[in-house]
């Protein structure tokens, strides 16, 4: 999964998950406003491959949880999802046990 990072890598992480029919670009203004955070903006669908048949909410949630584990480094994590991105965020929560040490807030 492709993603872009912005802001201060030492600050809390904000994962911004776009909705259907748009891309990571939809968060451009928010990334500017949250420059004092570590913002990660994934692209849910590979535009170069242009193949949406392999897309699933559960698979995206698993990939994003792995990305958080890689990038969070015990930092506070804030997940923001719009439309389809919100559905993925809910799936991420359902896959995460509250007893796990993953710092998902």
**62: nearest Cα among 22, 24, 102:** 102
With left for phi above 0 and alpha for psi between -120 and 50, is residue 21 left, alpha or beta? left
Q: How much is the pLDDT for 99?
A: 41
Cross-strand pairs, 38: 7, 13
The Cα–Cα gap between 57 and 6 comes to 25
Q: State the chain's mean pLDDT as an integer.
A: 90
Q: How much is the pLDDT for 103?
A: 53
**43-94: per-residue pLDDT in tens?**
998 766 556 678 999 999 999 999 999 999 889 999 999 999 999 999 999 9
> What is the value of pTM for the model shown?
0.87
All domains of the chain in start order, with CATH: 3-95 (3.40.50.1820)
DSSP 16-35: EE--TT--GGGGHHHHHHTT
């Amino acid at each position: 999964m492709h993603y872009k990072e912005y802001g201060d890598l030492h600050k809390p992480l904000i994962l911004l998950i776009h909705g259907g029919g748009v891309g990571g670009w939809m968060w451009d203004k928010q990334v500017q406003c949250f420059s004092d955070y570590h913002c990660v903006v994934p692209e849910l669908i590979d535009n170069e491959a242009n193949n949406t048949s392999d897309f699933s909410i559960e698979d995206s949630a698993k990939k994003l949880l792995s990305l958080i584990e890689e990038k969070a480094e015990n930092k506070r994590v804030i997940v923001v999802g719009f439309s389809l991105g919100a559905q993925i965020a809910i799936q991420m929560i359902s896959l995460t046990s509250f007893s796990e040490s993953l710092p998902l807030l």
